[in-house]
Structure 1
Amino acid sequence: MANWGGRTGAGFGSASSRTDREEITALVVIAVITVLLWHSPYGGYLLYPFTILSTWFHEMGHGLAAMAFGHEFERLVIYPDGSGYALHLAEGDPPRIAMASIAAAGLLGPTVAGCLLILASRTQRATKVALAVLGAVLLGSTLIWVRSITGWLVLPALGAFSLWLAFFASAQHKHFAVQFIGVQGCISIYRDFGYMFSEGGMLGGMPQISDTGHIAQALFLPYWFWGGVISAMIAAMVFWSLRVAHRR
């Protein structure tokens, strides 16, 4: 049992390049504004649904990775303050590589989801599919795994809104929404940046080992080393996704 916590033509190419630069600039601005809001007195209230969404990404990363290693994903709990855990069950002692991978999947989950959403913004069809899949998975996971009032209240609302965007919003609004949500996923780990560089903290009033602490226990080298490795992986994934999403 474990809790974790192509295009050618000079004129068109020039316009396309300007559009790409403008989009990347807009994404960076969104990221900066989000970080500032997180550290403002009332910004957390404005971004609360996305805080819960990032926790869902994180815990689903743990849960899905656990399932990939043959464990039973038993429940996903999200607390009102945005913390949470994924409970998974395994028979016997799981291999160390499995334990480390499951722990890392939670830290990387929001960024992987965010990068996939940013990549989906390349085409209208992919954007629609991404929003529809996100909405369906939010609703489905709530029925199957979520076992907390906060999750029951927030996640279905986000799922329904994502489905509404996919099928009824304008192409422009879909494009903005999928990129906005993608940015939130990509930068969400930096809301609690110190978490990656700590041995643990309190969760639901109980002491809890951090994900990097779990990795350090399973493998070798201290938790702060793995925090650096995860940070570098996140930065590389974000850079790659932006580069691919705006490749012409």
Structure 2
Amino acid sequence: MNFAIPAIGAADAASLSPLALFLQADIVVKIVMLGLLLASIWTWAIIIGFSITLRRASKQSRAFETDFWKAEDIDRFYEARGKGEVPAARVMAAGVTEWRRSTAQRSVDREGTRGRLSTAMASAISLEIDRLSDRLNILATIGSVAPFVGLFGTVWGIMRAFTAIADQQNSSLAVVAPGIAEALFATAIGLFAAIPAVIAYNRFSHGINRLESRLSHFADGFYATLSRELETQR
């Protein structure tokens, strides 16, 4: 006796294509899928934009620091390069501004000036890191929420599959497959949105931490330079 497994026809295969699964899905599952697709597009837009921004900020700060330590006159270098949009330039500008304010008085409070210099540059670093990492929270949100949104679509699709079984009194694969397929498709879209967001968030967080460490080292070196100069003030 020969038992043959019936092959799936071309029409049946086409009905399980991504576009067909979306078109035949329930309105709730369609909303879930559209929301996850938009989240995925938003994620990739942030990834591309943030990659360019972070790479540019790191490269410009590295070049700025190299030129700064080669400069012989800090005031002249500040007038030429210290007012740019580079993160390291903003840290330098915060230090120079506080230096000029504190040393403009007749009697210079050395310890007070050192404390204000440290605070000013640390604040500038924090502002730069906050500005650069502004959209990272979006990646974190998408990475943590998208799988659960997809799971909601999955549960809804499975509920529809069981409802179809109850209505038709038939538990064959032809009845169950569309609902199960659209349910799993919603999960797949959720993972498609979440996985890149999580990977990008971790990668960018590492890059931000490295930039913050670089700016902190630059601020420490600049602070030491100003502190030595402070010893000559009366």
TM-score between the two structures when normalised by the length of structure 1: 0.27
Higher relative contact order (CA 8 A, sep 6+): 2
Higher helix fraction (1 or 2): 2
Higher Cα radius of gyration: 2
Higher strand fraction (1 or 2): 1
